[in-house]
Structure 1
């Protein structure tokens, strides 16, 4: 299927690995021009090299910015060319008991996971509206609906993204600009893979055994009964960014593997 993205330019925050990288690769395979982002230039160069090897015809570049640093974020926004597609993907997570999360940690995770999307959308969304076409996509999580007891601060940020997305979509009436969210489920991103590997080593188990235990113990409602691959999230993201998804606006699209039990 031709997703009609050959003339579009996309920016993806947090895209040197994991879901963001998978979305970049899928967009490039559809002929879009893509600007990736990472915290430092070394990460960007590694990702660019991989993408160009995988997709030789790729029109891809990168801009470094740490979303915990407002000066770097402002510099990134100033450096961006015209962007047709904004994917708010950058995010951090950690396992932590509620009583141990300090004020500084609450503010830090909100700054990266939520304010990143607010600042980028505030800069790019009005220009899309002026041109009459655009796509804004928020990568949220089922954790924003079913808040994890050991990551309440992370779940809060993912709920916030749903609110921002919903509100922005109401500003797009009678245009070809759409704003949507994806509710991803337990995904085997690079960060998750690293954590699983460390836990597996500590418990003297293989990574596959550890993955199965995690799904059985913490995601019992999963219909997939496995982790989701980043490419499976990317498939939905790239469709929602395409002209073919013109009638999908203000939506929360689930790619959660059936983890959520709500209708």
Structure 2
């Protein structure tokens, strides 16, 4: 499938590493002009340099989009986008009864409110132009709430509802809104998380297998997913080929969720 996104501008939040960086690279390879976003200029500059070296049309935007001030700063550089990928998110293991009010608020603000704010900001322009894509990177944890981080799971469940609701708001406009349910993925952050739950003395390959066996035994591929595999779905949903897919929760979870439907 030849996906051509030339002439489209995309914003990927939290895209200096991991899944976000892979998504930015995939969109750039398909011809989109891509804005890489992060909170620190050093990491944004490094990601931009990497993608430009691969031939991408890329710009960097240093802004904390989990705040209203950060979005205002973003708008001075990027007043309109055709493709919005809300990838920004935080996670971490905390025993259920030890999650504080402050942690609940932080997870909601970063994982949910930031996405809502950016959709609200960019959706009107997409609708006026008659074309657009708004994508939220959710998680298998939205459906299979992990006992070690229920605050994270709840925030990702909210993203599914957010996507469905805004898809209804954009009905009939040529703009689609979807969520991508990413399964356990091999990123630096997940590597650290794995070692929170298994013996740190284990070599990575053995630690990964032990993590999947003990904590994600439902996986049908029995391995962590690679970021490019998530990016492939996002690039497709960003394309004209996905024009009839909206309001959906599309799974790239390695068969982890034991359900026919999300």
| TM-score, normalised via structure 2 length | 0.95
- 1:1-263 equivalences under 5 Å are 1-53=1-53, 55-56=54-55, 58-196=56-194, 203-263=200-260
User: Displacement of 1:249 after TM fit?
Assistant: 1.0
Question: In structure 2, do the counterparts of structure 1 residues 141 and 4 end up closer, same or farther at CA, with 3 Å as the change threshold?
Answer: same
Name structure 1 gaps, 5 residues minimum: none
- Secondary structure at the residue paired with 1:71? helix
Q: How well do the aligned residues superpose, as a CA RMSD in angstroms?
A: 1.4
Q: Using the alignment, how far apart are the partners of 1:195 and 1:32 within structure 2? A: 32
- Secondary structure at the residue paired with 2:48? helix
Name structure 2 gaps, 5 residues minimum: none
Deviations 1:30-54 (A, max 9, x none): 111000101111110111111122x
Whether the 8 Å CA contact 1:77–1:120 is kept in 2: the answer is no
Q: Using the alignment, how far apart are the partners of 1:126 and 1:198 within structure 2? A: 42
- Secondary structure at the residue paired with 1:254? strand
Whether the 8 Å CA contact 1:67–1:111 is kept in 2: the answer is no
User: Displacement of 1:68 after TM fit?
Assistant: 4.1
| TM-score, normalised via structure 1 length | 0.95
Q: Using the alignment, how far apart are the partners of 1:199 and 1:153 within structure 2? A: 17
Q: Using the alignment, how far apart are the partners of 2:169 and 2:66 within structure 1? A: 28
Q: Using the alignment, how far apart are the partners of 1:255 and 1:107 within structure 2? A: 28
Deviations 1:93-118 (A, max 9, x none): 01001111111111011111111101
